[in-house]
Amino acid sequence: MLAKVLTCALIGLEGAIVEVEVDVARGLPSLTIVGLPNATVKESSERVRSAITNSGLRYPLARLTVNLAPADLRKEGSAYDLPIAVGILAASEQLFPPDERALIIGELSLDGSVRHVNGVLPMASLARSEGITALYVSSQDAPEAALVEGLTVYPVDSLRSLVSHLQGLEVIPPCDLRPGLDADAEPSYEIDLQDIKGQEHAKRALEVAAAGGHHTLMVGPPGAGKTLLARAMPGILPHLTVEEALDVTRVYSVADMLPSDTPLIRHRPFRAPHHTISHAGLVGGGRWPRPGEISLAHRGVLFLDELPEFDSRSLETLRQPLEGQRQVTISRALGALTFPANFMLIAAMNPCPCGYYGDPVRECTCSTSVVSRYQRRISGPLLDRFDIHVEVPRVDYDKLTDERLGEPSAAVRERVEAAREGQRQRFAGTSLTSNADMGPAEVRQFCAVDEGGKSLLRAAMQQLQMSARAYHRILKMARTIADLASSECIETPHLAEAIQYRPRRQM
Ligand SMILES: Nc1ncnc2c1ncn2[C@@H]1O[C@H](COP(=O)(O)OP(=O)(O)O)[C@@H](O)[C@H]1O
Ligand SMILES: [Mg+2]
């Protein structure tokens, strides 16, 4: 007898429906799995047999063939255990399989309990778009799957309980719809701008960066507060919308990094990998490709502290997602995979190896050649991708011991949100999300400047020896500064502030 059950495969962040066909035929007892299974899927046969017998069910003593279709799609992981087990029980006439509008996903342990698998959210999204109406997943994964609207999600504890459900003996109550989505608790962030003393210039630069999504490089001596400033960044960015939160959660689901207490990630990601991180760890990859830090920072902040210490090859591969594409493509033997990587880059560095080059108080002990070699570790094209270059000088004693608090992050965030709202309207119907994403055509359309502004730009172009790219960057940044001031037109002061954020020294 032949039985069919549907389940789901995962390719990068995308799901794909897989049909599990089980045939029970007379012959020597055996189980063969065909359809490009990898080693973990092949091992499924052992887990399935034990799980079936240990659940008090009958494992057919017959020649079993399991076909995973489509046959040309590589099958990885352990999520096929549960559908294979249900297929075997159906083919041996112990139950009726669920109808063709249901997906079954789950790993089995030997005692028949159902375990967590990665990537349930993208699988559930796919199921919804393919017209599937019911989903059977482990109880642990059920809240995550239930984030997708319009699906009935059944939390399954064990093979035994699923069998009782399908036999109509004991029905599993479906999971509540869309848990956590309406929880309007404000996310809290560890560092508030009001606790950072002085550094008004750097704080303003971060506000502009947050308002327009501009990549930012901070340069300054050790202990000036660069790391502290970067950590305050998520707190001044707008809260994630539900769609953005689902986007972020998809990535974390595939990376198996969802926190156990909540199905939905509501905090803007802040990723701060150490400079010893591997290439694959930063951009993604590995034998079973996992999203790298740049994808884990999707819709949030990637903070690269001590930028020159990072492997230069890895830094150069950041250039593609930093501009235009906003995603990363990982090629491997079986075709390319794409992960989203729309992040804001914040980087920090000392001006030289000892850290005090240009410091008014402490003398720098590095020779000129050492300083320039250090600064040359960041290539020109990469440096050029930072819209904002900001110097973070040491804070003097009086400022540091000042008891008065600065402006809280929440107040800054309000201005940022207003500026972002304007951009949302400006870019409605396009794929652009912020001013930093504008290409030359949009710059022409939205960044007109008056005569006074033009002459200021002409002078700056000559004095700072700016490239065409730098010229566009200034216009985009001036647009953001004008947005923060709720100004329809870009005025000369907006341009003047934008020009300030170009690197002063030729690095
Ligand atoms: N502007 C500041 N306001 C308050 N504390 C500061 C400030 N700058 C530095 N600090 C203190 O010094 C520590 C080191 O700062 P950090 O941000 O790590 O400096 P950097 O990254 O520039 O080397 C912080 O943890 C904080 O205690
Ligand atoms: Mg630091």
Q: Position 136: which residue type?
A: Y
Determine whether 327 is exposed, middle or buried from the number of CB atoms within 10 Å of its CB (0-12, 13-18, 19+): middle
Decide: 383 in ligand 1 pocket, CB within 6 A. Answer: no
> Which ligand has the minimum distance to the alpha carbon of residue 401?
1
Decide: 224 in ligand 1 pocket, CB within 6 A. Answer: yes
Ligand 2: distance of its center to the CA of 304 in Å? 10
* Distances in whole angstroms, Cα of residue 350 to Cα of each of 105, 200, 314, 369, 374: 50, 19, 20, 16, 9
pLDDT of residue 507: 44
Is residue 227 within a helix (H) or strand (E), and if so which, with residue range?
A: helix 226-236
Per-residue DSSP letter, 280: H
Ligand 2: distance of its center to the CA of 167 in Å? 61
pLDDT of residue 183: 56
Most confident of 49-63, 86-100, 446-460: 49-63
**CA dist., res. 36 & res. 413, Å (int):** 50
Decide: 49 in ligand 1 pocket, CB within 6 A. Answer: no
**CA dist., res. 324 & res. 320, Å (int):** 7
Query: Between 419 and 320, where is the model more confident?
Result: 419
End-to-end CA distance of the chain: 73
Q: Is the pLDDT of residue 226 over 70?
A: yes
Alpha helices in 432-491 (DSSP H): 440-446, 451-464, 468-484
**CA dist., res. 441 & res. 461, Å (int):** 20
pLDDT in tens, 75-130: 888 899 999 999 999 999 999 988 778 999 999 999 999 999 999 999 999 999 99
Query: Ligand 1, closest atom to CA 230?
Result: 17
Q: For residue 93, give the nearest of 20, 167, 143, 158 by alpha carbon.
A: 167
Query: Ligand 1, closest atom to CA 228?
Result: 17
Give just the sign of the alpha carbon dihedral 346, 207, 209, 212. positive
51's CB contacts (< 8 A; 6+ apart) are 81, 85, 108, 109, 110, 111, 112, 159
Residue spans of beta strands (DSSP E) within 166-289: 216-219, 270-271, 284-285
Decide: 48 in ligand 1 pocket, CB within 6 A. Answer: no
Decide: 226 in ligand 1 pocket, CB within 6 A. Answer: yes
Secondary structure (3-state) at 100: coil
Which residues hold their Cβ within 5 A of ligand 2, which is an ion? 227
**CA dist., res. 347 & res. 305, Å (int):** 6
Residue count of the chain, please give it.
507
SS3 content of the chain, % helix, strand, coil (to 5): 40, 20, 45
Decide: 227 in ligand 1 pocket, CB within 6 A. Answer: yes
Of all protein residues, the one whose alpha carbon is nearest to atom 12 of ligand 1 is: 223
Determine whether 215 is exposed, middle or buried from the number of CB atoms within 10 Å of its CB (0-12, 13-18, 19+): buried
**CA dist., res. 124 & res. 145, Å (int):** 6
**CA dist., res. 299 & res. 243, Å (int):** 11
Backbone angles phi, psi at 284, to 5 degrees: 105, 155
Q: What angle do CA 285, 288, 291 make, to 5 degrees?
A: 45
Ligand 1: distance of its center to the CA of 436 in Å? 28
Q: Is the pLDDT of residue 505 over 70?
A: no
User: In this structure, are residues 363 and 356 in contact, taking their beta carbons and an 8 Å threshold?
Assistant: yes
User: In this structure, are residues 263 and 235 in contact, taking their beta carbons and an 8 Å threshold?
Assistant: no
Tokens 């996903």 found at: 105
Ligand 2: distance of its center to the CA of 195 in Å? 16
Ligand 2: distance of its center to the CA of 227 in Å? 4
Residue spans of beta strands (DSSP E) within 376-435: 388-391
pLDDT in tens, 166-194: 999 999 999 876 666 665 566 777 889 99
List the single range of 12-26, 172-186, 189-203, 410-424 with lowest mean pLDDT. 172-186
Ligand 1: distance of its center to the CA of 83 in Å? 54
Of all protein residues, the one whose alpha carbon is nearest to atom 25 of ligand 1 is: 228
> Which ligand has the minimum distance to the alpha carbon of residue 230?
1
Is residue 123 within a helix (H) or strand (E), and if so which, with residue range?
A: helix 120-129
> Which ligand has the minimum distance to the alpha carbon of residue 226?
1
> Which ligand has the minimum distance to the alpha carbon of residue 231?
1
Q: Are strands 102-104 and 134-138 parallel, antiparallel or unpaired?
A: parallel
pLDDT of residue 180: 60
**CA dist., res. 125 & res. 254, Å (int):** 13
Across the strands, what pairs with 135?
103, 153
Of all protein residues, the one whose alpha carbon is nearest to atom 13 of ligand 1 is: 223
Backbone angles phi, psi at 430, to 5 degrees: -115, 175
Q: Is the pLDDT of residue 332 over 60?
A: yes
pLDDT class for 252, splitting at 50, 70, 90? very high
Query: How many CB atoms within 10 Å of residue 411?
Result: 13
267-291 mean pLDDT: 90
144-152 mean pLDDT: 90
Is residue 164 within a helix (H) or strand (E), and if so which, with residue range?
A: helix 159-166
Decide: 350 in ligand 1 pocket, CB within 6 A. Answer: no
List the single range of 52-61, 227-236, 468-477 with lowest mean pLDDT. 468-477
Q: Position 80: which residue type?
A: Y
Q: Mean of the per-residue pLDDT values for the chain? A: 89
Q: CA torsion angle for 250, 255, 256, 258 (degrees, to 10)?
A: -50
pLDDT of residue 474: 93
Cβ density class 98-128: b for 16+ within 10 Å, e for less: beeebbbbbbbbeebbbbbbbbbbbbbbbbb
Query: How many CB atoms within 10 Å of residue 448?
Result: 13
417-432 mean pLDDT: 92
Q: Which of 190, 206, 228 to mutate to test the pocket of ligand 1 (most atoms within 8 A of CB)?
A: 228
Tokens of 135: 């989903």
Q: What angle do CA 451, 455, 459 make, to 5 degrees?
A: 170
Residues of the chain above pLDDT 70, percent: 97
Q: What angle do CA 457, 459, 461 make, to 5 degrees?
A: 65
Ligand 1: distance of its center to the CA of 198 in Å? 11
